[in-house]
Structure 1
Amino acid sequence: MSKSLLAPIEDCSPSPRVREPLSAAAAGELAAVFKALSDPVRLRLLSSIASRAGQEACVCDLSVGIELTQPTISHHLKVLRDAGLLTSERRASWVYYRIVPAELRRLSEVLALESGTAAAVRA
């Protein structure tokens, strides 16, 4: 390796931090949530629930337009629930799923840029 690559960069000073970076524990937790969101079917299910009044939907309504069996859809909903993105409630013979707004806000804060967006999200 040439000496020029090993030489310190002159006039290199670190930029000031405007917020704390993620801790190892927080990064691990968020990675699990992003892993749950990495499947297109789960993204569609989450979007379908979020687009309904009260951000809530019956499992019977979520099957419409998704070419999967009910057990497979239920599995994807369980993954989203285990990741903390959804809650569920049984009503008679149906299960209703609801978005967890605080978890979506947390994801938004992590992804927000400091150019004013993050400050607005935290407010």
Structure 2
Amino acid sequence: MVIHQIKGEWETRDAKLVPYRDHIQKLIDQFERIDFYHNPREDNQLDDALATLSSMFQIDGNEMSVIRIASKDQPTYCCEIESESDGQPWYHDIMTYLKSKEYSPRATENEKRTL
């Protein structure tokens, strides 16, 4: 919707959006060339995350914060989960119980109820 409004294809009727449209129009004049593309909602996850991140930063003058994006070859949770003190991953006791229906010898009663 916003892309169509910026391109002048649609009218901006929502009074809350008019200041944003006007601001974008001023920014457009600062570029030699600018293209706008519509991304369907299902392809919009990265765009949504970037919009959320950008709303968290305050811009001081002409200085902007750099947002670095890195691609991982495995899911993020694999990078964040540390092994237990026995060297096994945190889910080891759960997997053992699911396979053998036996609790870990060191499991407390509370841990057994949780499993």
Q: Structure 2-normalised TM-score? A: 0.25
Q: Which has the higher helix share?
A: 1
| Structure with more contact order per residue of length (Cα contacts < 8 Å, sep ≥ 6) | 1
Q: Which has the higher strand share?
A: 1
